[in-house]
Amino acid sequence: MPAWSTANIPSQTGRVAVITGATSGIGYETALALSEAGARVIITSRNGMKAAEVVANIRKAHPAAEISFEPIDLASLSSVAAGAERISRSVPRIDLLINNAGVMAIPTPFVTAERFEMQFGVNHLGHFALTMHLLPKVLSSSAARVVTLSSLAHRSGRINFDDLQSEKRYSSWGAYCQSKLANLMFSMELERRARSENWPLISNAAHPGFARTGLQSTGPRMGRGGRPAPMERLGTWLGPLLSQSAAAGALPTLYAATSPDAVGGVLYGPNGFYEMKGSPHQAKIAQRALDQATWRRLWDVSEQLTSVTIARPIAA
């Protein structure tokens, strides 16, 4: 695939995009690029002050931008439900849903409002519930896309159905890898269901490679009083050689969301060494992530845990 950049994004005028976690990093760059391309962008975050700054900055860069903020805390299913209801009332349809927000490598166990392990709860269950709540508006579009952010870390992940919430044994990295594998499997199962029902929907996934964002510090500093974690020091040492900017890291997401050549049921990521940086291309998916029985079981368990489901029946 030739080098691809934001200059290749087709006009998004008239399209409505919802992006989670868009107050920094990959999400911010995604919101900025889609606003420049003409989309109406709704960013979600639990940090209203930071979101207001982002909205102001994007409007300053693109005075004609249609951008707004909706408060949603993915660590609270009631917040997800309320935010999704407000968004649904405010738009005729959703053309792009980008499940971007996430936390990574929290050193000690933290839980969501519903007592889910924080990484699995925010990264997977929060986005699962949000997607299900917004799906009627997504299906109101004639050509919708749902892009879910995974990670290279999915390759080390395993879905431990006997201990999804890491109550028996907690590993900061293990919990993160499980959540990113869950993100990827969710995106592929949504695509499978969309095809079985002939929905006008493409579901795919993206990963940013090794992008320099706040993800490498926010999670690892939780419970450490704001002190830098070993992962940050390693990133500082390796970063100049192996990493890329947040803007470059957002390109696989933007490709998955906007390119006429992007397809469903795949993962997009950088094309460089170990997919850490480079131009978007179809990325490698770990073999265990292709197990459709696990996709379906994870979906069923996610419905049970969140008490959110699709109203219409889905073919098996």
Total domains, the chain:
1
Would you say 4 and 282 are in contact if contact means Cβ atoms under 8 Å apart?
A: no
In a domain, 313, yes or no: no
Query: Can you give the pLDDT at residue 218?
Result: 52
Q: How distant, in Å, are the alpha carbons of 75, 107, 173, 221 from that of 225? A: 20, 12, 19, 7
Query: Can you give the pLDDT at residue 275?
Result: 96
In a domain, 110, yes or no: yes
- Rounded-to-integer distance, Cα 119 and Cα 102, Å: 7
Whether 176 sits among the annotated catalytic residues: the reply is yes
Q: Range of 89's domain?
A: 9-303
- Average pLDDT of the chain, as a whole number: 92
In a domain, 309, yes or no: no
pLDDT in tens, 229-267: 555 555 555 555 678 999 999 999 999 999 999 999 999
Low-confidence ranges of the chain (pLDDT < 50): 216-217, 219, 221, 224, 313, 316
The CATH number for 198's domain is 3.40.50.720
Q: Beta strand pairing status for 280-282 and 267-270?
A: antiparallel
Length of the chain: 316
Query: Can you give the pLDDT at residue 310?
Result: 82
Question: Is residue 209 helix, strand or coil?
Answer: coil
HSE-CB at 303 with a 13 A cutoff on CA atoms is 10
In a domain, 1, yes or no: no
In a domain, 85, yes or no: yes
Q: What are phi and psi of 43, to 5 degrees?
A: -100, 145
Catalytic residue among 28, 176, 255, 268: 176
pTM of structure: 0.91
